[in-house]
A and B are shown apart, each in its own frame.
Chain A
Amino acid sequence: MDVQPLHAAVHKSRDARQRQTLPRLSPAERDALIKKFHPDHRQAAYRPIAFGPNKGDLTVHELASILEGDSSIPDDLPLVPDHVVDVLVVGGGGAGCAAALHAHGQGADVLLATKLRLGDSNSVMAQGGIQVAVAPNDSPVQHFLDTLKGGHMKNDHQLLKTMVEEGPSIAKWLLELGVLFDRDPDGNLHVKKGGGSTRERLLTCSDYTGLEIMRVLKDEMLNQRIQLLEFAAAMELLSDDQGACTGAVLKDLDNKRFVVVAAKTVILATGGIGRLHIQGFPTSNHYGATGDGLALAYRIGAPVTQIDTFQYHPSGGVYPEQLVGQLVTEGIRSEGGHLVNAKGDRFVNELDTRDVVSSSIIRECEEGRGVRTATGRVGVWLDTPLLEVESGKGTLEKHFPAMVRQYERYGVDIRADPVLIYPTLHYQNGGVKIDVNGETPVKNLWVAGETSGGLHGRNRLMGNSLLDLMVFGKRSGLAAAARGQTIVQGRLTLNHLQRFRADAKQHGVTHQMVSPMVLPAYTRQ
Chain B
Amino acid sequence: MATESSDKDNAVRQEDALQPEMVTVEIAGKPFRVPAGITLMKSLWYTGHDVTRGAGCLGGFCGACATYYRTKDDPKVKTCLACSRAVEDGMSFSFAPPFPARKATYDLNQIQDHKQALFELYPEAPLCRNCNACTEACPQNIDVREGVWKAVFGDFQAVSETFMDCVMCGLCAPVCIADIAPSLVAVYASRAYGVREMAKPPGLFDRIKAIEEGQYHDDWNRVLRMTDEELQEIGEC
Contact = CB atoms under 8 A, between A and B. Distances in A.
Interface of A: 1, 6, 27, 116-117, 119-122, 124-125, 132-136, 139-142, 144-145, 148-149, 153, 157, 161, 165, 168-169, 171-172, 175-180, 183, 187-189, 198, 205-206, 208, 210-212, 215-216, 218-219, 222-223, 225, 231, 253-254, 280-282, 284, 286-287, 320-322, 326-327, 342, 362, 365-378, 401-402, 405-406, 409-410, 422, 519, 522-525
Contact of B164 (A121, A142, A401, A524): A401
B151 to A, nearest CB: 14
Contact of B187 (A172, A219, A377): A219
Given A145-B234, A175-B194, A374-B16, A189 B208 contact: no
A216 B3 contact: no
B211 interface: yes
Nearest to A158: B224
B60 A180 contact: no
A251 to B, nearest CB: 11
B51 to A, nearest CB: 7
B1 A281 contact: yes
B10 A327 contact: no
Interface residues of B, number: 83
B2 A378 contact: yes
A523 B50 contact: yes
A132 B191 CA distance: 21
A140 B211 contact: yes
B55 interface: yes
B45 interface: yes
B103 interface: yes
B60 A406 contact: yes
B207 A134 contact: yes
Given A280-B1, A372-B10, A189 B204 contact: yes
Given A124-B57, A176-B195, A208 B164 contact: yes
B216 A139 contact: yes
Interface stretch (B71-79, B89-97, B104-112): B104-112
A370 B45 CA distance: 31
8 contacts: A145-B237, A169-B208, A175-B204, A188-B203, A189-B201, A219-B188, A326-B59, A365-B2
A506 B31 CA distance: 51
B113 interface: no
B49 A523 contact: yes
B164 A212 contact: yes
Contacts of A171: 204
Interface in B207-225: 207-208, 211, 216, 219-220, 223-224
